[in-house]
Amino acid sequence: MSVAAGCRSASEPGAQAPLFVPTSDRTVVRTLQGVPATDGAGVKLTRVIHQPALQNLDPFLMLDRFHSNDANAYIAGFPNHPHRGFETVTVMLEGRMRHRDSRGNSGLIQGRGAQWMTAGRGIIHSEMPEQESGLMSGFQLWINLPAKEKMCPPYYQDLPPERLAEATLSSVGSRLRVIAGNPQGLAGPVRDRPTQPTLLTLTLEDDQPFELELPEGHVAFAFVHVGQVHLGPEARASAVREGHIALLSQGKRLRLQARDRRSAVLLAAAKPLHEPIVQHGPFVMNTEAEIHQAIADYQRGVLDKA
């Protein structure tokens, strides 16, 4: 499937209503660099959201970037650990990660695939590399759940590469891969979620600009993990360097262009919840009392029990 890049217009003789309705442009409000961190059993990563300068970006709670061909940086993985009250999204670019949980579920997250896990009332799971060498590269994104759904049953969507919606953007191979949402008419496979997320990866192989529309009112960010990308309308575009997140203004249309080198971006947007966020490690609730209950449930071995 091919999706045309750039802006298109049309005309129709005799039309009474305007054929072109101006669309507000999203621009870069702020950029931040990810910071080195470790998690799990010592996995080395870059923390982008949930760092000192950006604790959260409602409804996004955390964004980690992992990228290494040194097995010592990732081989220990993420042994059994609990979650309650939010969703975890793993986007795997290269490598393989095996997940298992306390309810007997197991699956493989492979390169160019993804996994969307709704922790809900609670799950205890592990995510361990299923390789002993080679490049391990991808992201983990945490997305909040509204208060009314924090105690819903856990749910997995394992999404192998062939399930993601994909489009070619240019003759030299620029590509769009959609995990969630409906950008450019491509429907991502993730089921309807309360935050109505859009999540996609974009690889730009040339300097041809690409435009897409994001839902108005949704919080949005772009993380450049390869090269450099100019974001925003041509006359007001901001250059965002590799390893930096760009927080985007409100609006609808976003223009992206890799002007001088091959580049790649993770792009996300979602409806903010405007609810209190109380986070204690792997538990994210609305009140301190709910956090204390989550800890007590975990200690008593009933976190993942209905």
94 is an annotated ligand-binding site residue = no
Residue with tokens 């699956």: 107
**C-alpha angle 115-120-122 in degrees, rounded to nearest 5:** 100
Q: How far, in whole angstroms, is CA 184 from its chain's centroid?
A: 18
Is 81 labelled a binding residue?
A: yes
Is 83 one of the annotated binding-site residues?
Answer: yes
Q: Are strands 60-68 and 78-83 parallel, antiparallel or unpaired?
A: unpaired
Task: Determine if the peptide bond prior to 36 is cis (ω within 30°).
Answer: no
Nearest to 231 by CA among 57, 26, 32: 26
Alpha-carbon Rg for the chain in angstroms: 20
E strand or H helix at 293, and its extent?
Answer: helix 288-299
- The rounded distance, in Å, linking the Cα atoms of 116 and 28 is 27
Beta pairing class for 165-168 and 175-180: antiparallel
Beta bridge partners of 66: 138
Integer Cα distance of 281 and 83 in angstroms: 9
Please tell me the distance from the alpha carbon of residue 284 to that of residue 109, in angstroms, as a whole number: 24
* 274 has binding-site annotation: no
> Containing H/E element for 165?
strand 165-168
Which residues are known binding-site members for Fe cation?
81, 83, 125, 127
The annotated binding site is made up of 81, 83, 125, 127
